[in-house]
Structure 1
Amino acid sequence: MKDKIDSIPGGIMIVPLFVGALCRTFAPNAPAYFSGFTQGLMTGIIPILAVWLFCIGASVHVSTTRTVLRKSGTLVLTKLLTAWVLVSIAAHVIPPDGIKTGIFAGLSILAIACAVDMTNGGLYASLMQSFGSSEEAGAFVLLSIESGPLMSMILLGAAGVAHFKLQIFIGAILPFVAGFALGNLDPKLRALFLPGCKMLIPFFAFALGNTIDLHTLLSPLAALGIALALFVIVATGIPLILADIVIGKGNGTAGIAAASTAGAAVANPLAIAAIAPQFLSTAKQATALVAICVIVTSIVVPILTGLWHQQFGKPRL
């Protein structure tokens, strides 16, 4: 069963998410009916996500090579800078409560911010193992910094879309910082918490799925989500390719491999709305759009990466 799940792009996130969505669609009252621990598992996005961020922080360490840091820093900073530009532009053309009519109905600044600012690190690492070097694959280490809602919050704040109180920012980053500190102070603690990075993904994915009504995906949001995914690939892929060539001294393959939406980004809209109520009205639709982005980019990005490497990649020795 695990092998079949792994054969699906982003399967460790998508499959539990879909199971949770089935529960929400066909048994919406199940959490209240069962209550207790079952209710906590089906509705506990925030506490599960907090523990996951702690484990992510513990997995990030500073003892990396110069090449890995150059590759990581180039990709992360380029992705975040590009995301900030895109969100800033969107803030001037999209209403705060999202677009209500027309072919773009359902699109919001929250959806764009959460779709463009996080790279699927696992997908990137696997592609670089096939088409790049071990150093390029190792750039995955700093991509973990993008994980969670903090970067999306920073983007929304920097673009002038939202104003978060200082304690909210501190509260959002504390689990990550605590994990980072403990993981770097004691390698044994890093080894203890490291398995949580992957182990907790299905649990918060299932809880997140319990907020998604699949009827939403049968609406025009499906076409809009596909369009948003293609926009993410093009709008972030071009700057990433150029940065990889000019700064990272690569051939652009790492850039296109990083032009995806991370599975964990699906949790960001509701996580942000939980601490910033002004986004509650657009959070559910944004979650559906980001989920579609994850699926589409997980399929399209590997194809484009292979084609790019075939055309422009250097022969591997």
Structure 2
Amino acid sequence: MKIKATLEKIPGGMMVVPLLFAALLNTFVPEWLRIGNFTQALFVDGASTLIALFLLCTGAQINLRNVGVSLGKGATLLATKWVVGAIVGLLAYMFAGDNGLWMGLAPIAIIAAMTNSNGGLYVAMVGQYGDKTDRAAYSLLALNDGPFFTMVALAIFGTMGFVDGMFSVVSFVSVLLPIVVGMVLGNLDGDMREFLNKGSSMLIPFFAFALGMGIDFASIIEGGLGGIVLGLLTVFVTGTAGYFVFKMMKWNPIAGAAEGSTAGNAVATPAAIAAASSAFAANVELATVQVAASTVTTAILLPIYVAFLVKRLEKKGVNIPEDYVIEES
């Protein structure tokens, strides 16, 4: 029975399918897995521990030794994604209704989805349409996996008076420490980086399932359409911004557009933020399913959008990636 192969055929399947299946169980038979001991600890109450371990494994993949053009491209992509996502998130906070939502979207979901990107999808896109410097930029892009940049945006908004509930230093450090530990281990020992890399992928369906056990099916219905809209915003706003920033820098603009996605692990960000500050707990359930829907939407739509952009450039006589290949210094 090809369970893994089947899940991989579904965009974001390793995250989305376990999450939705668990939400279904939690809606109709919530007590089935709430039987105590190891079963409940893993499948119901284990989300925080599993996410912490996932963040440690992810942190180990951040290579601090990258320099040159790849570093510049990675930093530019990180900055573009964060600035665009933060601006849209700020607008959402400014114009949110009494229920804390803007056009049905949770602002925390907007920031989490639009500042995070699907690294696998990016690598696949630049593998076909980019050069080695575009691919090498991925190691720096690992910094936007997880809650760090979302936390930075929310902390800034709190200072500006748009967000209630600033993070305490201890809470902030407690969420980031697993990433830092992983980063230290990965940079001290390449074998540890490779070892922990295997864990990052393996943990996704398990923490997604545990998160799903905290979601009611009614929330999925409520958040589904909003999540699709969030996915459209991510592809067309952050992807297009990346395209034009890279074009302005005279780099391959397709590599810039390839960042217009939401990663499956971004589904954990709302829960991580709420753990750091209870002020953001109200819409965590809705934000989680909206981010999940955005993950699926971007995984399907971004390759189509990128292919459209490539054809558009080819009609103008630009060859991708040949006309933009550069050697790393």
Q: CA separation in 2, counterparts of 1:82 and 1:31? A: 41
**How far did residue 86 of structure 1 move?**
1.8
2:327 counterpart residue number: none
**Are positions 1:181 and 2:179 aligned together?**
no
> Given that residues 244 and 252 in structure 1 are in contact (C-alpha distance below 8 angstroms), is that contact kept between their aligned partners in structure 2?
yes
Q: CA separation in 2, counterparts of 1:12 and 1:69? A: 30
**Are positions 1:4 and 2:9 aligned together?**
no
**How far did residue 314 of structure 1 move?**
2.1
Following superposition, which runs of at least 4 residues in structure 1 exceed 4 angstroms of deviation? Answer: none
1:191 aligns with one of 190, 194, 199: 194
1:16 counterpart residue number: 18
**Are positions 1:38 and 2:39 aligned together?**
yes
Closer, same or farther in 2 for the Cα pair 1:304/1:41, shift >3 Å? same
1:228 counterpart residue number: 230
**How far did residue 5 of structure 1 move?**
1.8
Within a 5 Å distance, the mapping from 1:238-257 to structure 2 comes to 238-247=240-249, 249-257=250-258
TM-score, length basis structure 1 = 0.91
Within a 5 Å distance, the mapping from 1:210-221 to structure 2 comes to 210-219=213-222, 221=223
2:211 counterpart residue number: 208
- Secondary structure at the counterpart of residue 100 of structure 2: coil
**Aligned residue type for 2:8:** D
Q: CA separation in 2, counterparts of 1:222 and 1:59? A: 32
2:69 counterpart residue number: 67
- Secondary structure at the counterpart of residue 31 of structure 1: coil
Q: CA separation in 1, counterparts of 2:55 and 2:192? A: 15
> Given that residues 171 and 277 in structure 2 are in contact (C-alpha distance below 8 angstroms), is that contact kept between their aligned partners in structure 1?
no
- Secondary structure at the counterpart of residue 261 of structure 1: coil
**How far did residue 278 of structure 1 move?**
1.4
**How far did residue 181 of structure 1 move?**
1.0
> Given that residues 310 and 320 in structure 2 are in contact (C-alpha distance below 8 angstroms), is that contact kept between their aligned partners in structure 1?
no
**Aligned residue type for 2:172:** F
> Given that residues 131 and 306 in structure 1 are in contact (C-alpha distance below 8 angstroms), is that contact kept between their aligned partners in structure 2?
no
Q: CA separation in 1, counterparts of 2:284 and 2:321? A: 44
**How far did residue 93 of structure 1 move?**
1.1
> Given that residues 97 and 279 in structure 1 are in contact (C-alpha distance below 8 angstroms), is that contact kept between their aligned partners in structure 2?
no
> Given that residues 58 and 176 in structure 1 are in contact (C-alpha distance below 8 angstroms), is that contact kept between their aligned partners in structure 2?
yes
Closer, same or farther in 2 for the Cα pair 1:76/1:96, shift >3 Å? farther
TM-score, length basis structure 2 = 0.88
**How far did residue 36 of structure 1 move?**
1.0
- Secondary structure at the counterpart of residue 33 of structure 2: helix
1:125 aligns with one of 123, 127, 144: 123
2:88 counterpart residue number: 86
What is the CA RMSD across the aligned residues, in angstroms?
Answer: 1.9
- Secondary structure at the counterpart of residue 281 of structure 1: coil
**Are positions 1:314 and 2:312 aligned together?**
no
2:51 counterpart residue number: 49
Judge which range, 264-273 or 292-301, deviates more.
Answer: 264-273
Deviations 1:238-258 (A, max 9, x none): 2211122123x3232112211
> Given that residues 52 and 200 in structure 1 are in contact (C-alpha distance below 8 angstroms), is that contact kept between their aligned partners in structure 2?
yes
Closer, same or farther in 2 for the Cα pair 1:290/1:315, shift >3 Å? closer
Long gaps (5+) in structure 2: 323-329
2:325 counterpart residue number: none
- Secondary structure at the counterpart of residue 208 of structure 1: helix
1:139 counterpart residue number: 137
**How far did residue 173 of structure 1 move?**
1.2
**How far did residue 122 of structure 1 move?**
1.0
**How far did residue 132 of structure 1 move?**
1.8
Within a 5 Å distance, the mapping from 1:153-168 to structure 2 comes to 153-160=151-158, 161=163, 162-168=165-171
Q: CA separation in 2, counterparts of 1:31 and 1:149? A: 28
**How far did residue 193 of structure 1 move?**
1.7
Q: How many residues align?
A: 310
Long gaps (5+) in structure 1: none
Q: CA separation in 1, counterparts of 2:29 and 2:137? A: 42
1:282 counterpart residue number: 283
Q: CA separation in 2, counterparts of 1:124 and 1:96? A: 37
Judge which range, 49-58 or 80-89, deviates more.
Answer: 80-89
**Aligned residue type for 2:273:** I
Q: CA separation in 2, counterparts of 1:8 and 1:135? A: 29
- Secondary structure at the counterpart of residue 200 of structure 1: helix
**How far did residue 216 of structure 1 move?**
2.6
Counting aligned pairs with the same residue, the percent is: 35
1:150 aligns with one of 148, 151, 155: 148
Q: CA separation in 2, counterparts of 1:18 and 1:184? A: 36
- Secondary structure at the counterpart of residue 40 of structure 1: helix
